Structure 1
């Protein structure tokens, strides 16, 4: 598995990955984007920003990059960065299928992405991803599986995914929503010819929404690599939106709220890769300080008190505007 390359890495940041959701398209539901991105959000400007961030991440030891078909031109930006740096052969590349980007490079589109976990969408998006990333793609995940997703029961789709796995591509899934734990456990039960289909799981987990933790521990115990997304809760754990308790712990450590929030996740024994969704190099560097944060039990207990009801957390997330 390509993730064995990450497991053997010894840099302090080897368990931190870089996600392209915030820079692959002009609009996203993260707080503070009016400050983080330039006024010019043209394709050329965001390609340049993405390349700048990828250069910085790689220089700091980051070796996992996460994209998706619905992240605007993220796969295209990543592909052009890789093509310009043929000596970079140790990056593990992941992407996702299941959402189609529909905003046409607009920040105020009525609909930014459309979800479809059907076989036809998989085959179309696989061809699109292969056309951009080709053999550089290591991991292909189903995007945002929920307990009612047809991707959990579609045997024809499972057979196609198993064929991709037999050809050397790692197959995984991501989850979203208040029932992430149920989706994870249902996906763990999916088999083809008696063998588990999925080798990775990518879920939302942070100090405000830790409900998937026990299921992620079960996934790790079953042999899956766990990737954590939205560790910053779409910007709610940084800047002026950060809770007082988090700010207090950050002051005690001498580092930023973002680094502390990500450090909490890195301490989980089941966490294989924790994603930074930085939109600026300064944010990225601050995020990477998470590898150096040393939290004691008292600080961890204080931060655990910030957990919200999952239903309330996801309802609030659904109301975030696309900036």
Structure 2
């Protein structure tokens, strides 16, 4: 499997990153460990998790995913594995630190220590802010609403908190997630002013139907020498084809959890996916190959984050995320995108 050096890190990571958010809810520990064994055998060395996982988040399961990964890590040498996890941002999740989710220096330090303990490692390679402290449109929302402004720790305090963890040897680098162009630039501006490390990666939703990272955010990534870690490259499974024609397979994520993935359930998203499915058929490839091959083709990509609930899905997705699309197929994708530029947001 191809590897890429993440700019500003020296970390060599597989172009496919194994996502983990179903472990502990839709997947048992044994199933998660089977996924890990297979992924490593395919050349994957990059694993992404979060203190909030599994999804959907709740008090009963929170933290279970990191623990499941930690159990697996305890049985093997780390070698060249790259482990990424995340600190939850502010929100109504009283079960995380008793509701203390504002990103203060103290909360960042406590969250790092808790993740280190669950994972059973001495240092986290990339520690990410799961979503911003401040008010921003997220998860498919597109309109900024000033009435939702709230107080909380500044970006300066978050930079200082991350820098303290790097100095302590508890994390190697840090990244952002669900962040905007303004946020990326502010983190770097403040880090430079303080003479401290800035963020090295951005983990945002990115797929054929979720392309917010292609405009001014792509410029910010280029100028700040960051790479994109693309989550939901199959749009929550919509681009796998299993929901085509209004299907709702038993046991699927959208059948089990009504509130998940609302951005991918918009009528225009469904229409766009039907067009991409027709294109894939015309090109003689699968919709998964079309969708993941497209994400792979993007110049700002660091890695595609692939998650699955079955081994069959995992095998197809890992292969699809290494699929190379030809120029004609990419041109035809662009023609579909002209009709459906960014339907999921």
- Whether TM exceeds 0.5 here: the answer is yes
Partner of 1:199: 200
Q: Would the aligned equivalents of 1:207 and 1:264 in 2 still touch at CA under 8 Å?
A: yes
Q: Would the aligned equivalents of 1:151 and 1:157 in 2 still touch at CA under 8 Å?
A: no
Query: Could you say if the C-alpha distance between residues 147 and 305 of structure 1 is closer, same or farther in structure 2, counting changes exceeding 3 Å?
Result: farther
Structure 1 residue 303: Cα displacement: 4.1
Q: Give 3-state SS (helix, strand or coil) of 2:103's partner.
A: coil
Q: Give 3-state SS (helix, strand or coil) of 1:272's partner.
A: strand
Q: Quick one: higher RCO (CA 8 Å, sep 6+), 1 or 2?
A: 1
1:223 aligns with 2:225: yes
Counterpart pick for 1:274 among 301, 304, 310: 304
Counterpart pick for 1:84 among 56, 75, 94: 75
In 2, Cα distance between equivalents of 1:103 and 1:84: 33
1:139 aligns with 2:129: no
Q: Would the aligned equivalents of 2:103 and 2:153 in 1 still touch at CA under 8 Å?
A: no
Counterpart pick for 1:117 among 96, 100, 103: 103
Partner of 2:240: 238
Residues 171-320 of structure 1: matches in 2 within 5 Å?
171-175=174-178, 180-191=180-191, 193-214=194-215, 215-242=217-244, 243-290=273-320, 291-295=322-326, 296=328, 297-305=330-338, 307=340, 313=344
Query: Could you say if the C-alpha distance between residues 207 and 114 of structure 1 is closer, same or farther in structure 2, counting changes exceeding 3 Å?
Result: farther
In 2, Cα distance between equivalents of 1:233 and 1:154: 30
Q: Deviations over 1:157-198 (max 9, x none)?
A: 32221122233611111116xxx3443343343315244521
Partner of 1:320: none
Quick check: 138-147 or 49-58, which moved more? 138-147
Query: Could you say if the C-alpha distance between residues 197 and 287 of structure 1 is closer, same or farther in structure 2, counting changes exceeding 3 Å?
Result: same
Counterpart pick for 2:10 among 4, 10, 14: 4
Q: Would the aligned equivalents of 1:70 and 1:101 in 2 still touch at CA under 8 Å?
A: no
Alpha carbon RMSD of aligned pairs, Å?
3.0
Structure 1 residue 211: Cα displacement: 1.6
In 2, Cα distance between equivalents of 1:101 and 1:79: 27
Please list every run of at least 4 consecutive aligned residues from structure 1 whose deviation after the TM superposition is greater than 6 angstroms. 149-152
Structure 1 residue 56: Cα displacement: 1.1
TM-score by length of 2: 0.70
Q: Give 3-state SS (helix, strand or coil) of 1:77's partner.
A: helix
